[in-house]
Amino acid sequence: MADTVPRRPAVPRPGGRTARVRERIMDATVQLVGKHGLAGLRYDELAELAGVHKSSVYRNWPERETLVSEALRRYAAETAVLADTGDLRRDLVEFLVELAACIDSPTGRALQSAAHTGQQTPSVARAVAAVFEQRLAIMRTRVDAAVERGELPPVDVYFFGELLCSPVHLYLSRGVRPFTRAVAEQVTDVVLAGIRETARR
């Protein structure tokens, strides 16, 4: 009788069905956290929205906080990009316009919800911090280049970023007026003028 060779278990290929299922679950997670908050995330609703069996969610993420953390960290790679075209004003305006779109997306709303409700959960708090650190790092790279070229005086990057980004959050949270490109231009002009004038004193 011929020897039989035991079969090796199949290994999911990157980019295959397993990856697609995970993507759907990630997308559904941020939509539901943005809609209901962290405390309102239920796996049965999540599975239905993602079009998967509930066991697929439990098997990969038995802890709800781990799932939310992974979804938010994924967002860090998709955050607004601050380009370097050599025109600082234009780059900052584009950044604010893109930032407003990111914040107003399902993932952005989930991030805001998690930032307010997830501070008592260390893993979620770390994920939220990672997103903001990513944004700060993007800002630091562009500001450092601007300072080196003489486009800006030396400035505290965190302070500079808060001056620019806070109006975006206020406009979107209040919902009274839209955050338009014209508003982004006004905010950028006021911040740049203020930073440069302060440096002359």
Convert the pLDDT of each residue in 145-192 to its tens digit: 999 999 999 999 999 999 999 999 899 988 889 999 999 999 999 999
Higher pLDDT, 128 or 91: 91
| Contacts for 54 with CB less than 8 Å, ≥ 6 apart | 43, 44, 47
Q: Using only C-alpha atoms, what is the Rg of the chain?
A: 22
Q: Is 124 a residue whose pLDDT tops 50? A: yes
Ranges in the chain annotated CATH 1.10.357.10:
75-200
- The whole-number pLDDT of residue 1 equals 42
Start-to-end C-alpha separation, the chain: 93
- Concatenated DSSP letters of 161-190: HHHHHHHHHHHHHH-SS---HHHHHHHHHH
97 closest CA partner among 193, 167, 196, 194: 167
C-alpha 124, offset from chain centre: 13
Measure the CA–CA gap between 29 and 42, rounded to whole angstroms.
9
Report yes or no: 172 and 104 within 8 Å, Cβ to Cβ: yes
CB 71 within 8 A of CB 29: yes
**pLDDT confidence of residue 2:** 43
CATH of 17-72, one of 1.10.10.60, 3.40.50.920, 3.40.50.300, 1.10.510.10: 1.10.10.60
What is d(CA 110, CA 62) in angstroms, rounded to the nearest whole number? 20
Every domain range in the chain assigned CATH 1.10.10.60: 17-72
Report how far residue 80's alpha carbon sits from residue 33's, in angstroms, rounded to the nearest whole number: 20
Band (pLDDT 50/70/90 cuts) for residue 193 is: very high
**How many percent of the chain have pLDDT more than 70?**
87
Average pLDDT of the segment spanning 41-63: 91
CATH architecture of the domain covering 75-200: Orthogonal Bundle (1.10)
Measured CA to CA, the distance from residue 34 to residue 130 in angstroms comes to 18
Give yes or no for residue 18 having a pLDDT over 70.
yes
User: Is the pTM above the cut of 0.75?
Assistant: no
